[in-house]
Amino acid sequence: MTEPVLSVQNLRVEFATRRGVLRAIDDISFDIAEGEVLGVVGESGAGKSVTGNAVIGLIDPPGRIAGGEILLAGRRIDNLPAEEMRRIRGKRIGMIFQDPLTSLNPLYKIGEQIVETIRTHSSLSESAARKRAIELLTEVGIPAPEKRIDSYPHEFSGGMRQRVVIALAICADPELIIADEPTTALDVSVQAQIISLIRRLGRDHGTAVMLVTHDMGVIAETCDRVAVMYSGRIAEIGPVQDVIRNPLHPYAKGLMGAIPTLAIEADRLVQIPGSMPRLSAIPPGCAFNPRCASAFDRCRVERPEPIVCGEQRVACHLYDGDSAAKDHAA
């Protein structure tokens, strides 16, 4: 087994408020291998984006990493000084955010921004960096890159701006890319192109990708594995086809059942009752238990730990071998 590009171990993220300390991420662990795309999915408030921000060192006060470790290629990075983390964030970890306009400076031509980023993290000359910028724009599918390199962000469509952001993210050949809802603001046809582009990053560059999204269609098309998050914990993680075809956790089953399909005719889609609890009101035991049709007494008092089931890991008492749980599952 080769060392994973990213290893997150028992990560906890907390936010101090006037009402007390709120735990947004509660003891999660996962790895991403070289060339692998890991999807992180869940409802709004599940902790997906906070996890991505923790990895790239962008948890601002009153938030803090309260426990666990984040390792990049075997080296711990969650305890580094801010300046050293900033260098890693630009060179070894690339970022693709939901709104490309927040990632691009409207006052500068896109070529100037890419060239500056390349030169910050390499020893290339101005002319060599510009040549490299044109190559990157070509790679991400910008037409006539020799001309468009001198355009401003507002002169591009939303999909083209997102391509520019991807070019910025890969210009220093990072080992890891964090993509936070990179297709949300785009129409369906452009989404498909961006998905294809992200998949190609892993295949051609060997880049590890953490893809944060709430869209299971994007997960199914793009990812090798998927982590389903709920209330700051990983409810289930495993190969994407296994989790989609045979979800184990009741929450994952609800998510998959809510996806319309042409293969099976159904009068109604599955509906998960209720909503995700606020951080200040997470119930004891399994956080999903008030919404779970399979919940029993143990679920209301004891928090489930991840259990290995084949290629999948699931945090649910139904799978821990307890006789009462087995009877309930049957």
DSSP 58-85: ---TTEEEEEEEEEETTEE-TTS-HHHH
Q: Which CATH architecture describes the domain 6-92+172-237? A: 3-Layer(aba) Sandwich (3.40)
User: What pLDDT, on a 0 to 100 scale, did the predictor assign at position 250?
Assistant: 94
Alpha-carbon distance of 38 to 273, in angstroms, equals 28
For the chain, which ranges sit under pLDDT 70?
1, 258-269, 322-330
Closest C-alpha to 277, from 296, 266, 290: 290
Task: List pLDDT tens digits, range 124-147.
Answer: 999 999 999 999 999 888 999 999
User: What pLDDT, on a 0 to 100 scale, did the predictor assign at position 220?
Assistant: 86
Alpha-carbon distance of 163 to 159, in angstroms, equals 6
Task: List pLDDT tens digits, range 177-235.
Answer: 999 888 877 777 788 888 888 888 778 888 999 999 888 888 888 899 999 999 999 99
Q: Does the global pTM surpass 0.75?
A: yes
Secondary structure (3-state) at 254: helix
User: What pLDDT, on a 0 to 100 scale, did the predictor assign at position 269?
Assistant: 66
Task: Name beta bridge partners: 64.
Answer: 14
Secondary structure (3-state) at 237: strand
Quick one: CA torsion of 106, 111, 120, 182, rounded to 10 degrees? 60
| Cβ(179)–Cβ(96) below 8 Å | yes
User: What pLDDT, on a 0 to 100 scale, did the predictor assign at position 322?
Assistant: 55
Task: List pLDDT tens digits, range 251-266.
Answer: 999 888 766 665 556 5
User: What pLDDT, on a 0 to 100 scale, did the predictor assign at position 45?
Assistant: 87
Domain boundaries, the chain: 6-92+172-237
- What strand order describes the sheet that includes 93-96? 93-96, 176-180, 208-212, 37-41, 225-230, 233-239, 312-314, 307-309
Secondary structure (3-state) at 222: helix
